[in-house]
Structure formats: C-alpha cells, structure tokens
Structure 1
Amino acid sequence: MSKLVIAAMGTRGDVAPLLDVGLRLREAGHDVVVAAHCLFRELITESGLEFRLMGADVKVDESDPFAVDLSGHEDLVVPDKLAWPEGQRFLGNGLIEALIDEPADALLLSPITEFSGFQLAEAKGIPAIGLRLFPLSATAQHPPSLFGDKDFGGFRNRRAADFGAWLFDTVYRGPVADFRRDLGLPKVSPRELRRRRTVSEWPVLHGYSPSVSPRPADWRPGLEVTGYWWPPRPIDWEPPAELVDFLADGPPPVFVGFGSTTEGRERRAEFSEMLNETLRRFGGRALVQTGWMNLDISGDDVLTIGSVPYDWLFPQVAAAIHHGGAGTTSASLRAGMPFAAVPGQADQGFWARRMRELGVSPATIPLQKLSIDGLVSALHALTADSFYRENAGRLADRIALEDGAGTAVKAIEAHLAAY
C-alpha cells in the first residue's frame, strides 16, 4: 500500500471534503496524512486522520480566523493579500518546509497548493494528483468557475479559460521560479510546466456531482468528476442542547449564514442590520450562523449558532440563504434543501447560477448588492412554493446513488499503479 499526503489550503469548506477521500484511502489500506494550517488541526485529528502542520503554529479562533494570537511568533509577517504573488510565496514556502522530508508516494493537491506542490512532487520524483471542488479547466460548456455567475458562450468560454491560465502563469511565475530554485530544479516557465501537465494528462479529480455540473465532453482525459466528497462528522460530536431544543420547539426554521466568506467583512455591521430587519419582516423561525463575518443577529424566534455539521443540521431546515460555496451547496443538495445564494467570492457565483438552472434556487443575491427586499422575497419564495424543495429533493435522490470518495480512491489507485 502507498503513503499518500493530502495538502489542503483554504477555508473550512475547501479542507473538510478532502478528509472523506483521506478516510476512504485509509480504509483501502493506504497510509494517509493531511497537511494543513493550524486552524484545521482539530477538524483533521477529530476525523481520525494524521495531521501535519503547514506554516506557523499560532493560536487562531476558528470562528474568527482574523483573531490571531502571535505570542511566540512576533517576527512572523503575513502578507496582506495571500492570493497575490507574495502571499503564494509565503504559503508555498510553508508547504515545502512542512513536507520536504515527509515520506510520500504521491501528493494530493488542493488548488491553492498546486503552485508549490507540483514543484515539490517533481523534486521528490513522485506523482501529483489534483483534488478540486469546482471546475477550472477549459471547456465550451462554461467558463472556469472563478469567473462566477457568467456564461460567455462556447468559444468565448474556452478563451476565458485560456486567458485565466495565461494570467495565473504570468502573475505567479516569480514564486514558481523561487520554489524550483530552492528545490534544486531546473528553470522552466509556468507556461511550459502547464503544457507538460496537459500532455501527460495529469489527473485532476473533481469532488462534486455530475448531476449538478456534468463532466464536459470536451475535457481532456484525466479530468474526472467523481461525485461529492462528504466532510466527516467529528468523532463523539454532540449537538448543543440549546439548538436541539430550538429545533424541537416549532416548525423547521430557515437557515441564514455566509460561512467562511470574508468578502465584505468590513460591512459586518451593515449586513447584520439588514439581516435583522429581513428576519423581522419575514416573521418565521430562523437559525443564523455567525460565520467568519461575525454577524450580530437577534430577535424573536431567532437562534444564532456557530459551526455545526451540516449533514446533521440541514435535513431539519426548511430552506436557506447562504453564500453558495462548494461545501455548503453540496450539503444543501444532499439534504434536499432549497436555497438562495449570496455569492461574494471565488466559485460561489458559479454554483449560484447552477442552482437557478436546476430549479433549486429562486434567485441569486450578490453580496455586494445585498438588500432587505431581495432577501425577504427569496425567503418567501423558498418557503411558500414547493417547486424548489421538490427539485432539490429529486436532485438529492440522484446524488445519494453516487459514491464520490470511492470513485476517487479507485482513480488514485489506478494512477499510482500506472505511474
């Protein structure tokens, strides 16, 4: 059996689904470790998987990752924008430092780890396999998901992907060159490295349902859509008594939360006020997840909550307003729960559009255009019209027939056998 290292970066929704793949690989007899930042130590260890620390071991409040205690790490300088070259250099150096001496037969890379992870895999002489929760590769079917709620049409969709690839290769060529130099690898441009990966048909596994976003017919071999990967519930987890009592004390509530969205965080007070007024006008029972925005919500028949396993919570919820991230969207669909998305960043707009097209959502309300009228209208549509719940239920039935993590394990084993 193989020693496999999963390198995971991003928000909780980017990390948690990868643990399903890790656990299934372990069940198949492989030795699996997960490398991530300290924020996710408990998430990983409480699932039963081994944890490797990437970056500094600082004290972070999981409910507010901006509240960082740098005691003992006063000299640590974190770039303001982790998505820009200096940020990627900072993150990539942390990955390489954590895994350079870690024995491994393959690296399984989430998207943010690819810049440094590819170079580390080459230096180790082992394969790299991509693990993605949203589509990024070129197709006429749609533009890359990071373009949000857009569809430029067949030819232009592919050109958008080509432009995105060129932009990433240009913007991040400095960090990639630094990683290769530090690892003793020859100079090769990011563009040429991308071409080599394409020619070699390097595998990328996509952890979402083909019933939600089908595999494009014009994707190259090696790009596969496996079905969803489900975040494991923490071992020995029990729901808070207050939440259990609230759910039992009336009809199913609506759920409102923006999860780990950080876009618009500076408007926290404004968004909190808008949501308070929305729920007052709506008049129904509601659960509000404070999330990384630290929403300040109160009112009759309203309960605020922190992090709760969605596989336990969402089957008990009538409908939702949330950010539409890949993980929260998948949990909503698994529960057959309709929702309206409030996308603010990354792939959220892509999933919001798919939900409208599938008849699961009545509307998309962009975070930057958030309005009380739009929110109230969406809540009334979701709770008064069975159309959306029926569509969500039918989709949930199809998703239940899939085995995303099992399919991923078979694909990983096949690639290792052929390597």
Structure 2
Amino acid sequence: MRITILTTGSRGDVQPLIALGQGLKQAGYRVKIATHDTFQVMVQHHGLEFAAIAGDVQALMASEAGQQMLKSKNPIYLIQQYARMVKPLVIQAMMDSWAACQDSDAIIFTATAVWGYDIAEAFGIPCFFASLMPQTANPDFPYPSVSPDLQLGRVLNQWSYPLLMEAFGTVFRQPLNQFRRSQLQLPPIAFGTIYRRIERTSTPVLYGYSPIVVPKPQNWSDHHHVTGYWFLESTTDWQASQALLDFLTAGSPPVYIGFGSMGGGDATQTQMILDALKQTGQRGILLTGWGGIAQTNLPDDVLLLNSVPHSWLFPKMAAIVHHGGAGTTAAALRAGVPSVVVPFFGDQPFWGDRVMKLGTSPSPIPKAQLTTERLAAAMTTMVTNPVMQQQAKAVGATIRAENGVQQAISVIERDLATSKYRFAQCV
C-alpha cells in the first residue's frame, strides 16, 4: 500500500512527519514525503521517496516580510502576513501535491497542505489529518497561537479554534476552489469550511505530541488521537566533531542556546547571550544563526555549532534555551533537562506555557523582552533548582517510554482496515 505524506514548513514541521513515514515504511508501507526541495536529502537519507512541493518557508521567514511577521503578537496580522508571503506559491504547491499523489492509496496531510483532503476526495481514498499542536476545538485552552496570558473562558476558548483556523483557511480558499474545479473536477467549498469539514466527516486526526504535555480534552471524539511525539532517531552514520567532543569533556555540562528556523539576532543580542553565560559562570553551546558571530569572537568556554542532532546533544546539556518550536520543545522534554522558551510567534508561547506548568521550565521570556538579566536568572534557576531538575528527569523518562510513531501507525492501520471513507460536500 502506498501512502503519501504532504507537509510544508520548517525543519521542525517536516522532521516529525519523516519519522512517521519511516515507521510506516518499517511496517511494510511504501511511503512518499512531498515537501520542499530543501528537505530532499533528509527525506531520501531516511529511505523514503521524495516529491517536491513549491516554496521554502525558511527562506520566507528570513525575508523582510517574514521578520516583520515574527515581531507581531496579533494572530490576525500573522495570518495576513503569511497570506501575502505564500499566495504566489499556493497554486503551484497544490499542483505539485496532485502530481505527488497520483499513485497513492492513502494521504496524510497537515494544516498547511490542507488540499491533501481534496486530493483524497477526488481519488476516493482514505486520508488523515496530522498536526504537531492541538487544532481541534475544546473549552480547556484557546487556540495555540492565542496568548496564554489571555483568560478567555471556556466558551471563547472553544470558539477561538474555528475562528482562527478558518481565518487561516482564507489564505487557501480561492486557489483551492480553483484547484477543485479545474483539476479535481469537484464543486467549490463554502466559506468557513476548509478545516471544519475535517470534523464534519470524522476524518482521523493524529496529534504528534505527548498526552503528558497536553492531555486529550474530554470533548474530543474517538477520531482524535494524541499518540505521543514522533521522534526521528539519529542516524548511525552521524559523528560528532572532535572539537565538540573535546569541548564537552573539557568542563561542566554547558547550556545550549539555539532558536532553530527563527534564526538569530544582531551582534548586540549575541553579546546579551554571552553576558548572561558569563554572569552565571556557565559554559555555552550556540547554534548558528546569530548575527555578527564567529568562533574567533567567542571565549574559550563557548562553542559555536552549525547543526547537531538534538537527540544526541540535549541529554548532555545542563540546560536548554530555545524558541519553543514544537519539535525542539519535544526534544528538550525527552532529554530530561530543564529548558526555558524564548518564544517568537505562533504556537511558541503555548509550548513555553506548557513546559512551565509541567514544572520543567522557568517562565518563558518573550523574544521582545529578552535581557541579559532575565536570561541569567532563568539559567541560574535551571542549573540550581533540584525540584525542577528532578521533574525534568521524570517527564523525560515518561516521554522516552512512549512510542508515538507506533501509536500513530496503529491508528492508521485500524482506520484503514475498518473505516469507510465518504467525503461530505461542504457547500
């Protein structure tokens, strides 16, 4: 059986889907990942077929428009800016996905590749909605891009999901209806139904995060599955550099600081990080992306890295400072090491709030409020608080005992074997 996974975004968005695809392949399925060209080597390195989808989200985020978007706390503005950036690419991305799915028996799609639902409808084949954050309405907490500081109450929490999901869906509605009519020979869909139809048809939903971090809300149905994280294990051919190995053995465990696809800041911000490390007496490992930084500018107790598997590095750290992307948050929790989130935008404040409430992290420090003093205080807490350290170890042990990929595969196999897929026309 052939399964195509449609996903777009940064590495943190794509890598867990590669892990899921790898698990499906090991279970006997033929798996193709359709995503951006930048991930072709990574996909094929893990033994999966690859198909290209137009766009490069990481490049968009690095653009002037992307950087302006990162500075906003308004979810509506974020949607508007995202729409402006991706609109020229959407039709081509849909056509690329259509080509990738020609030999598919089932499709797994994400929110930013929601046209996977439409392609499955045209072919009359099963489909699954996959997400790394909660996207189903519930009264317990608002949509993850809403500030956790807002106390909306249960009714508004519930309504925040269809309002923001369908607002995001307006990015795709016009090109999607054009795609449905001209390519799929399907009628157009009504306003405000792009994501709601997933619920109306009880399409299986796979959530790739741990129930210990976000328990399944009681109002969710049997077709919503919180499986646990989808971790991509380090490949056996990866080797740490001698410089990294020497640095790790030269002193106490360092503090990791990296902001993933968010990139870094200017030289002033870099100096802020270095000052916090010096103030707390901590050694540090910095991930590249920081503006105005080079190894020759760093003290001997700070090492600059281009990239390294989180699963290998994080357990060796004293503490972790990161942007709060879903994937990095998962890796930090799994490592059993205290971490603090410096959220930039989107769902990152949500994850920062979650790990704080779990007791594995100090309060998150929003990017705009990052100072040497606040970062130094968070570092001190992480490396000296035994209660937090023990809680991080306990949560890490629980997450390592989960097998999110296998849980997701069990759901997929059960639905493929028992379900009849009928696509309701949302007109």
* TM-score when normalising by structure 1: 0.88
Alignment pair present for 1:163 and 2:146: no
Superposed, 1:141-160 pairs within 5 Å as: 141-150=140-149, 151-160=151-160
CA distance in 1, matches of 2:400, 2:340: 22
* 1:220 shift after superposition: 3.0
The answer (yes or no) to whether the contact 1:46–1:235 under 8 Å persists in 2 is no
How far is the alpha carbon of 1:273 from its aligned partner?
2.6
Return 5+ residue gaps in structure 1 as ranges.
67-80
CA distance in 2, matches of 1:395, 1:30: 32
CA distance in 2, matches of 1:409, 1:82: 35
Unaligned runs of 5+ residues in structure 2 are 64-79, 421-427
SS of 2:331 mapped into structure 1: helix
SS in 2 for 1:343: coil
Q: 1:202 to 1:378 in 2, by over 3 A?
A: same
The 3 A distance-change label for structure 1 pair 148 and 205 is farther
- Residue matched to 1:205: 206
AA aligned to 2:275 is E
What is the deviation of 1:315?
Answer: 0.9
Partner of 1:382: 382
Question: Which letter maps to 1:167?
Answer: A
Give the TM-score normalised by structure 2. 0.87
> How far, CA to CA, are the matches of 1:91 and 1:281 in structure 2?
48
- Structure-1 residue corresponding to 2:43: 44
Q: Does the C-alpha gap of structure 1 residues 406 and 384 become closer, same or farther in structure 2, counting only changes over 3 Å?
A: same
Aligned equivalents of 2:371 and 2:237: distance in 1?
A: 40
Deviations 1:56-82 (A, max 9, x none): 7x9x999x976xxxxxxxxxxxxxx87
Report the Cα distance in structure 1 between the residues aligned to 2:4 and 2:215, rounded to whole angstroms: 28
Identity of aligned residues (%): 35
Q: Specify which structure has the higher proportion of helix.
A: 2
Partner of 1:78: none
Cα drift, residue 393 of structure 1: 0.7
Q: Which secondary structure state, in structure 1, belongs to the residue aligned with residue 107 of structure 2?
A: strand
By how many angstroms is 1:277 displaced?
A: 2.2
State the partner residue of 2:218. Answer: 217
After superposition, give the CA deviation of every residue in 1:284-306 in whole Å (9 maximum; x if it has no partner): 11101124x55626223000111
Match of 1:118 in 2: 117
* Contact 1:16-1:232 at 8 Å conserved across structures: no
Q: Return the offset for 1:171.
A: 4.7
Amino acid at match of 2:103: P
**What is the CA–CA distance in structure 1 between the aligned matches of 2:170 and 2:81, rounded to whole Å?**
17
Equivalent residues of 1:5, 1:33 under 8 A apart: yes
Which letter does structure 1 place at the counterpart of 2:233? P
Q: 1:7-56, CA deviations, whole angstroms, 9 ceiling, x for partnerless residues? A: 12111111111122111111111110111111111221222222112227
1:284 corresponds to which residue? Answer: 282
How many angstroms does 1:412 deviate by? Answer: 0.9
Q: Give the Å deviation of 1:176.
A: 2.2
In the alignment, what sits opposite 1:105? 105
How far residue 388 of structure 1 moved from its aligned partner, in angstroms, is: 1.4
Aligned length: 398
Q: Is residue 127 of structure 2 the alignment partner of residue 128 of structure 1?
A: yes
Shift of 1:269: 3.2
Deviation at 1:351, TM superposition (A): 0.7
Q: Distance in 2 between matches of 1:412 and 1:190?
A: 30
Q: Distance in 1 between matches of 2:31 and 2:154?
A: 40
Match of 1:303 in 2: 303
**Residue 68 (structure 2) aligns with:** none
The reply on whether 1:34 has 2:16 as its aligned counterpart is: no
For residue 363 of structure 1, give the secondary structure of its aligned residue in structure 2. Answer: coil
Q: Could you say which residue in structure 2 is the equivalent of 1:270?
A: 268
34 and 318 in structure 1: CA distance in 2 versus 1, 3 angstrom threshold: same
